[in-house]
Structure 1
């Protein structure tokens, strides 16, 4: 099946079969892209796999792009079942937050996939460009909340806008924390700073959970592999966790739609 994450900066598409990501692609989340342009792009990327897809599962953080996707599905792929993660979707996980509707669709998918793969308690850390998120499932298998921090790319762009002498740098692992040039100093702050932030958030979350035995900490997201070697608390690295969770959400909901 085709799973899609419509993110703020990047849209990720994947072909998932029985818990395995066979192929995946990333494109820009261009808000000006029309429904017809999305159709051309999807067909060009997915190709013959689209004909074999059982359906499409979508998680969206950008309402405008989701509207284009609904138009694209209705016009170009009307025979494919569509499940959009949101209010009313069966998740299989109790969401114990003040307002469950506020929890992002990608975060719900991450939590479901992590619990399915590893059980609870589990903390999912999605190291993204726009935001780095922490999502917590307690030992009873209930989603109890999390944290949202600025992402790696947002931090880098903010430095470039606010600090005139800091030119654009490549996001890469620096040689050491104590850098000897400006480029590596920025890389150090972003990579090691994100790692330290994640370790601190996970430690505090574990303490609030009562420091349960067997806590798994699962890393995912586009920058997870960049920072994972510097984060001692990570127990698992699942780069495509959201896509796997979307497949599970589709299975839970396709029969009711």
Structure 2
């Protein structure tokens, strides 16, 4: 089985692949100081629950946007799974994606992995919206090459910042309010967050399409993708497993 590790700013996702499908997926909060041994204590319990053992894992791949997590995750794979993990972004790992930017190294590993998966699974020119710690818009052309993108503060990050900066404003759940004009503090904040981000998404996609000057699909991923998809016709596809499948594709392409 293949262990795919996606280390983000908020969570680290561990996914097991077998026979071209995801069979288990777990997540743990990101922490710069966590050691390889701590990861294994946690992960071994989850493997045991599924009647699996460390010896069942025969390969691993890592994508991280938190540099401090890379060494302990690599050590985890070497020490406990007896394998050397492929690392997205290292010179010997081929993504089969041309990054059409002046400095390709600036693009986060997760964004490139999403580009690989989106082109492989859906094809064509595309805007990929990822609702993570940041809300990102990534553009790939019809050949699957990375064209550029947009980075905005994430939805939950904005909610947290608002409650921290304004003493009298509570932290609210991100959900679609019944109407745009709020009749209470909570509903007003929910409207500002939800409809504000919805307007940003729709407006940004319109601007990207106009600048790209060609037909484009719009694909969303991340925790809030379904919520915003239900409220707008601009999002055409939702794929919550996009990054994980991208890691899977990259691993096997490099084995070949």
Confirm or deny a common fold (TM above 0.5).
Answer: yes
Cα gap change, 1:19 to 1:230, in 2 (>3 Å): farther
Q: 2:144 aligns with which of 138, 141, 155?
A: 141
| Equivalent residue, structure 2, for 1:25 | 26
| Equivalent residue, structure 2, for 1:91 | 95
| Equivalent residue, structure 2, for 1:211 | 214
Count of aligned pairs between the two proteins: 251
Cα gap change, 1:231 to 1:65, in 2 (>3 Å): same
| Equivalent residue, structure 2, for 1:53 | 57
Matched, 1:122 2:126: yes
TM-score, L = length of structure 1: 0.91
Following superposition of structure 1 onto structure 2, how do residues 107-186 of structure 1 map, counting pairs within 5 Å? 107-128=111-132, 130-186=133-189
Cα RMSD of the aligned pairs, angstroms, is 1.7
| Equivalent residue, structure 2, for 1:12 | 13
Cα gap change, 1:46 to 1:186, in 2 (>3 Å): farther
Q: In the alignment, is the contact (CA less than 8 A) between 2:4 and 2:14 conserved in 1?
A: yes
Matched, 1:227 2:228: yes
Please list the CA deviations of residues 162-199 of structure 1 after superposition, one character each: whole Å capped at 9, or x if unmatched. Answer: 11111122222322222222222222222222221111
Runs of 4+ in structure 1 deviating by more than 6 angstroms, as ranges, are none
Partner Cα distance (1:22, 1:56) in 2: 15
Q: In the alignment, is the contact (CA less than 8 A) between 1:122 and 1:136 conserved in 2?
A: yes
More moved, 150-159 vs 189-198: 189-198
Q: In the alignment, is the contact (CA less than 8 A) between 1:12 and 1:24 conserved in 2?
A: yes
Q: In the alignment, is the contact (CA less than 8 A) between 1:126 and 1:134 conserved in 2?
A: yes
Matched, 1:237 2:238: yes
Unaligned runs of 5+ in 1: none
Unaligned runs of 5+ in 2: none
Instruction: Indicate the SS of the match to 1:230.
Output: coil
Shift of 1:50: 4.8
Q: 2:201 aligns with which of 188, 198, 202?
A: 198
| Equivalent residue, structure 2, for 1:246 | 247
Shift of 1:49: 6.7
Instruction: Indicate the SS of the match to 1:194.
Output: helix
